[in-house]
Structure 1
Amino acid sequence: MHLPPFRTAALAVLLLLPGCFTSDTDLIAAVDADYPVADGARFALHRLDDDGNRAGDAPDTVTVTRDGDWYLMTTGADGKPFRGRMDEIAPGLHAVMAREADVAGPGGLYVLLERAGADWKRWSMICPDFVALAEARGVALTEFGVTVANSDCMVTDFASLKKALMFAHAFGKPDAVYVAE
């Protein structure tokens, strides 16, 4: 596995992913990052069902703050912070890199967010689902520069990540929405 097991497990809890899009390096550098979310923004995180409707469970509370060239996001009752950056890859579409705030070193997990007014739709980039989506469309993972390791989809460069995120946006569905409070 490319990320230490404790790091992958903790990040997966944050994003609720059984297999993630990951990298060993920061694919979103500070110089390339965008900061479209206001410091101190609060959201209610609602899971979406297969039809795009909010699932019946109670939403998690999410708070986003800025710490230099990073976002810090706290989610749920434990309030554990995660560090992340965003980069706009198309109008209103942002690649997001995230990892535990107290973990030193590069790398992280990736998701796609789409701005919907003050809210944000999320594509979690669950690896097995992405593999199935690519296979259903007749596209090999190599066309995205993606390799699979221990149920994670590994990406090594931003161009490959962007291609995979754009494909997921075109042919997949969001799994959650962050509703501004």
Structure 2
Amino acid sequence: MGNKSSKAKRQLIVKLAEETYFTEDEVKKWYTGFSKDCPNGRLTEQAFYKIYQQFFPKGNPKKFASFVFRVFDEDKDGMITFEEFIKALSTTTRGTLEEKLLWTFKLYDLDNDGYITRDEMNSIIDAIYQMLGPNIVDTNDDDPVKRVDMIFTHLDTNKDNKLSMDEFMVGSQQDPKIVAALSLYNIHNNN
């Protein structure tokens, strides 16, 4: 019986190494850690939040972690499987600029209607500032509302106060400042 389980695990690791930017050894290490933290093979939103809390102890990452959890949970069953986890991690840490922007669009499009509104972007940016906590971001120099205004000024080419995927992708790829503004949530990650 254990041999069958071992073979299935091996097949999963090989499959995920082919589908992600991780090597088999890296997938295996992530799998071991994930299995240790989630013995039932599923990560709950509460456990996901606790992980973020470890990275941002001076802030409140609950709102942002909830937004990210929603994107990681591809099948929308309220749990993140290892496969969902490793694919999202691969995209956000090692994906191409286009893949990262597509993922970021999904994050910002809170109601999944194919557009990012100012309110949606304000919600995400606000969640980021809450997560980072006081003294991490100089809010006198980097006001969240000004950040959203700057992004919309550059990306909203038809001036309808919402960003289509096309506007988001094209505009973001043309202006490195926009990518930096959108990537504030990745401040702790060098990739």
TM-score by length of 1: 0.31
More helix by share: 2
More strand by share: 1
RCO higher in structure (CA 8 A, sep ≥6): 1
